Amino acid sequence: MQAVRLRLLLVCVLAPLVLWAALPVLSQGETKAGSAQLQTKIDVTRGKISTRKSKEHVLAQDITRYNSRIETLQQRIDRIAARQAVVQRDLDVKSAELATLQQDLRAERQRLTRLRLRLKEARQILGYRLRELYQADKPDIVTVVLNARGFADLIERTQFLSRIQAQDQLVVTRVRTAQRDAIATEARLNGLERRQATVTARITARRDEIAQLKRGVISTRVVYDNAKSEKSSALQLVRGERKDLEGNLQALEKEQAKVKAKLAKQMGLPGSFTGTGGQLSMPVNGVFTSPFGYRWGRLHAGIDIGATEGTPIHAADSGRVVLMGPTGGYGNYTCIQHSASLSTCYAHQSRFGTTMGANVRRGQVIGYVGNTGHSFGAHLHFEVRINGNPVNPVPYL
């Protein structure tokens, strides 16, 4: 009986101790699982933001192209407006010329009508005279002399005969002049009518040209305005989505920072990552924000250390700069060869602090923290490579 009581006492004492020891382990495991879930959400959100940024870039390029084409179109519109002004002045001149031509035509038609009447009258008079000459014998000078009743009568008959001849000559001259004037006036009238037709056709062509240019400009401007408006609306929508995602990302990152701080406290680690005692020195002091490993279906070939933009980056060990320059998603990227197999690389720099081929010392400034390439905030992406292959840098720091 006493043995049973002893066992119960031991169970009552040891059970709370076991549960108390297990609580941190359980809590730590739950926190790590929550951190992994948060990291997955952060990675997915960053991927969405990257996609939105790519769409923004494409839409911004499209809008830039449309703006350039619209500017070109506006220049064309200005040229057309200038040409239209010139054509309009020409139209005004031609319209005035046409009005003068029409006035001249009316005057020439009236003159031609009068000349035709004069010609008709002159021809009628000439016809009457010719009939009279045909019906009566033409008096010759001998008959006039023989039939004269004295010298005075002879003079009078001779003068009368001269006046008749002069009158006949005048009638013929009037007929010829009227006919010649009528022919010339008709020719001028035909010329004026042809000129009127030419001017009218030119005015019509210019008006048609202006109307066609205006229609073309209006339709083109409508198309480009609509396209620009659609692209701008799409860009605003994508930017709004990106800002929402960035807000979500900031909230997730804050939550992740709390989880990491909690993990660090449970594991007895400091809030910022300062290394694990490996052979390489820390390139920059900051918050450990992303580990080495697979994410988004591909390898994250280094670790991310968050730091303020412009913070100096130090060489993790002595060596020679073998790669330096803009490199795709890495942005400004530098690699240092330390031995035959070991090299370190530094990505997303705002600017470089060394030169290609330079020999650098351990701890020497080789660049500055930045946000270039595929980056969502100022940080250093640090890689350790063995024979060119990336490995987890943490054990080396």
How big is the chain, counted in residues?
A: 397
CA atoms within 13 A of residue 100's CA, in its CB half-sphere: 8
Task: Give the torsion sign (CA, 379, 385, 389, 393).
Answer: negative
Q: 1-20: b or e for each residue (b if 16 or more CB lie within 10 Å)?
A: eeeeeeeeeeeeeeeeeeee
Q: Report residue 304 as tokens.
A: 């991310």
Residues of the chain with CATH 2.70.70.10: 272-397
User: Which H or E run includes 306?
Assistant: strand 303-306
User: ∠ at Cα 26 (22, 28), nearest 5°?
Assistant: 115
Q: What are the C-alpha distances in Å from 330 to residues 81, 304, 344, 351?
A: 51, 12, 14, 13
Return per-residue pLDDT of the chain as tens, 397 residues.
445 444 544 444 444 444 434 444 445 555 656 666 777 777 777 778 778 777 777 777 777 776 777 677 777 777 777 777 787 787 788 788 888 878 887 887 887 788 778 777 777 776 666 666 555 555 555 555 556 566 565 566 566 566 666 766 777 787 778 778 778 888 887 888 888 888 888 888 878 877 777 777 777 777 667 766 776 777 777 777 777 777 777 776 667 666 655 554 444 434 456 667 789 999 998 888 888 988 777 889 999 998 889 999 999 999 999 999 999 889 999 999 999 999 999 999 999 999 999 999 999 999 999 999 988 888 999 999 999 999 999 999 8
In 3D space, the residue among 327, 397, 325, 324 whose CA is nearest the CA of residue 362 turns out to be 397
Long-range Cβ pairs for the range 361-364 (8 Å, 24+): 361/315, 361/318, 362/281, 362/315, 362/316, 362/317, 362/318, 363/281, 363/314, 363/315, 364/314, 364/315
pLDDT of residue 289: 82
- CATH fold of 272-397, please? Glucose Permease (Domain IIA) (2.70.70)
Q: 363-393: b or e for each residue (b if 16 or more CB lie within 10 Å)?
A: ebebbbbbebbebbebbbbbbbbeeeeebeb
Q: How far apart are CA 397 and CA 395, in angstroms?
A: 6
Residues of the chain with CATH 1.10.287: 63-235
pLDDT of residue 21: 43
pLDDT of residue 146: 56
Q: How far apart are CA 54 and CA 374, in angstroms?
A: 11
Amino acid code (one letter) for 256: Q
- pTM comes to 0.38
Q: What is the DSSP string of 143-196?
A: HHHHT-SSHHHHHHHHHHHHHHHHHHHHHHHHHHHHHHHHHHHHHHHHHHHHHH
Q: Report residue 233 as tokens.
A: 């609306």
Q: How far is CA 25 from the centre of its chain?
A: 61
CATH number of 63-235: 1.10.287
